[in-house]
């Protein structure tokens, strides 16, 4: 019986499809993982190597993206079907875009088996399901230069400060250091909007971006403006005009105190070892608090910080799904936490990694530093919502207007609220 060329071709294709000849459908499993700046950001390869040790039959290949354009490139690759099997949620600001666009696999089963010490998980939960798993979770703390405190004769932080006490200490340090012939200021507030807004959102009861009511920001900006006026910290204008870096401000001892994320521990250690930062005694303390209720080592201080997580590409092949979920579970687990801590990265399970972090040469080992690193209620800087990104852009403009002195606090807040209502929340 004769068959047409089309029929024969169709039959051959069908037989080929059943033969298992596709290398993706047979043999050892190889997962692809997104990362960036691989030469200077070793955490991705560290996770890949550690997982390979625990799962010898599964390989993980890291695909490098541009750090500055990561989300833009990832969104394009997802649309083109070229994205890796596992990709990083760099922060919560763009998580809504991925989740709402159905670009993440439901990994609730992985989340359900994680230990209670893994922080940042709630940021990836939508409609009762979990869409990514955190492997690192940085929190903001107060770094302080013990040597400058001693030179000024000022008592070290003890974890009991409110913002008013922090401001008073910054002014006292500035005055006494100047009298001692030192040009260092009491505090440094970097130019990012989060240095004021992140704490305000985390520490103010009932505060929310989505309401469009930004009155909760006022006391934090009043504190910052007061310190600028007193000369206890560099003005926003000087910091932006001179392109000051927070690393140099603290590392070169131009400030006695600086609020920054826990990731700075690794940076400071690296720069001190390379001679790019001065060598001096330093410590970390909890961030100042809005009220006394959350101060002291018997309480849990409120702070902020977005987690960094891993999600699974929903277009991953069926046979890879369990392997990918196993990788996420490993990345958030205790062994990965210790491995990441060993290179100075703050893992999602900070308590498990504390001994490793504080065993690194140069990390302060006093009890308050350990408390500040391990004990905190960390709220997201970017609560997951369709409104977060556009509202944060409006608040960034407000931040610049207030700290540059171009607009009074009350007027700037009113303008931001009007913009939020008319441009976003309408």
pLDDT tens string 185-206: 999 999 999 999 999 999 999 9
Q: Are residues 261 and 344 in the same domain?
A: no
Q: Are residues 320 and 242 in the same domain?
A: no
Does residue 176 belong to any structural domain of this protein? yes
Does residue 62 belong to any structural domain of this protein? yes
Q: Are residues 94 and 201 in the same domain?
A: no
Q: Are residues 185 and 51 in the same domain?
A: no
Does residue 121 belong to any structural domain of this protein? yes
Q: Are residues 217 and 129 in the same domain?
A: no
Q: Are residues 73 and 182 in the same domain?
A: no
Q: Which range of residues forms the domain containing residue 37?
A: 21-137+307-348
Q: What is the total count of domains within the chain?
A: 2
Please name the residues in contact with 72: beta carbons below 8 A apart, sequence gap of 6 or more. none
Does residue 355 belong to any structural domain of this protein? no
pLDDT value of residue 267: 84
Model pLDDT for residues 110-142, shown as the tens digit of each residue: 999 998 888 889 889 999 999 999 999 889 999
Q: Show the low-confidence residues of the chain (pLDDT under 70).
A: 1-26
Rounded CA separation 172/184 (Å): 12
What is the percent of the chain where pLDDT is above 70?
94
Q: Are residues 90 and 57 in the same domain?
A: yes
pLDDT value of residue 263: 85
Q: Are residues 173 and 266 in the same domain?
A: yes
Does residue 344 belong to any structural domain of this protein? yes
Q: Are residues 339 and 411 in the same domain?
A: no
Structure tokens at 1: 């019986």
Rounded CA separation 71/81 (Å): 15
pLDDT value of residue 26: 63
Does residue 359 belong to any structural domain of this protein? no
Residue 209, domain CATH: 3.40.190.10
Does residue 315 belong to any structural domain of this protein? yes
Does residue 358 belong to any structural domain of this protein? no
Quote the pTM value. 0.82
Q: Are residues 173 and 97 in the same domain?
A: no
Are 264 and 364 in contact, with CB atoms under 8 Å apart? no
Q: Are residues 200 and 265 in the same domain?
A: yes
Q: Are residues 67 and 196 in the same domain?
A: no
CA distances from 40 to 36, 49, 69, 265 (A): 9, 16, 17, 15
């Amino acid at each position: 019986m004769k068959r047409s060329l089309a029929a024969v071709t169709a039959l051959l294709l069908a037989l080929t499809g059943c033969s298992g000849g596709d290398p993706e459908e047979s043999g050892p499993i190889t997962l692809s993982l997104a990362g960036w700046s691989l030469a200077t950001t070793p955490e991705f390869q560290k996770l890949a190597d550690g997982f390979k040790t625990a799962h010898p039959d599964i390989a993980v290949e890291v695909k490098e993206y541009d750090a500055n354009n990561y989300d833009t490139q990832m969104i394009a690759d997802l649309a083109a079907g070229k994205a890796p099997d596992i990709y990083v949620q760099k922060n919560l600001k763009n998580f809504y875009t991925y989740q709402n666009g159905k670009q993440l696999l439901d990994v609730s089963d992985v989340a359900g088996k994680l230990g209670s010490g893994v922080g940042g998980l709630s940021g990836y939960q939508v409609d009762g399901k979990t869409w990514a798993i955190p492997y690192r979770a940085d929190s903001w703390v107060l770094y302080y230069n013990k040597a400058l405190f001693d030179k000024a004769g000022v008592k070290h932080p003890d974890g009991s400060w409110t913002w008013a006490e922090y401001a008073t200490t910054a002014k006292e340090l500035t005055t006494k250091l100047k009298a001692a012939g030192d040009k260092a200021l009491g505090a440094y507030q970097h130019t990012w909007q989060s240095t004021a807004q992140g704490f305000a959102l985390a520490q103010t009861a009932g505060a929310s971006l989505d309401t469009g009511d930004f009155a909760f920001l006022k006391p934090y900006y009043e504190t910052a403006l007061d310190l600028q006026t007193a000369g206890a910290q560099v003005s926003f204008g000087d910091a932006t005009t001179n392109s000051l870096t927070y690393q140099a401000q603290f590392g070169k001892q131009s400030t006695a105190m600086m609020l920054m994320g826990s990731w700075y521990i690794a940076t400071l250690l690296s720069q001190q070892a390379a001679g790019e930062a001065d060598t001096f005694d330093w410590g970390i303390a909890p961030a100042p608090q809005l009220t006394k209720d959350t101060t002291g080592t018997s309480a849990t201080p409120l702070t902020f910080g977005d987690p960094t997580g891993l999600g699974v590409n929903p277009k991953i092949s069926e046979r890879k799904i369990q392997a990918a979920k196993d990788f996420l579970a490993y990345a958030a687990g205790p062994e990965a936490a210790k491995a990441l801590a060993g290179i100075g990265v703050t893992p999602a399970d900070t308590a498990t990694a504390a001994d490793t972090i504080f065993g690194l040469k140069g990390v302060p080992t006093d009890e308050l530093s350990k408390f500040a690193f391990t004990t905190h209620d960390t709220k997201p800087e970017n609560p997951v919502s369709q409104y977060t990104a556009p509202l944060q852009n409006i608040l960034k403009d407000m931040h610049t207007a207030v700290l540059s002195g171009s607009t009074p606090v009350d007027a700037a807040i009113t303008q931001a609220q009007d913009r939020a209502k008319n441009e976003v929340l309408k």
